[in-house]
Amino acid sequence: MIKTWALLGIAVCLEIAGAISLRISEGFTLLLPTVIAIISFTFALYLVSRVMKKLPVSVAYPVWAGGGTAGVALLGILALNENINLMKILGILIVITGVILINVTSEKKSGC
């Protein structure tokens, strides 16, 4: 099961890399960030599809999507100098809390 969660963690990181690369690609006009975005999203989707063989979709997808959302928001603030305000921080915390609640309340027989 640790391998499954590790693959999901890698998928989250790849989704974050893909989203940040999209931002840097300037509308797919810069080759390297465009290629990184396409490759990152492709491998992220592949890994999530593998994870869903072991974890229920009600756990795997929210962890992937929520982790990616929170990670992109944090990197946008920290690395891309995007604005930070109380509502954005609260939104990130709500996403993280939601992912944790879904995982904690999932049936134990689902492999979580």
Residue matched to tokens 């997808």: 61
Domain encompassing residue 32: 2-110
Pairwise CA distance, residues 97 & 99, whole Å: 5
Domain count for the chain: 1
User: pTM of the predicted model, to two decimals?
Assistant: 0.86
pLDDT digits (tens, 9 = 90+) for 65-85: 999 999 999 999 999 999 999
Q: Is the pLDDT reported for residue 109 higher than 80?
A: no
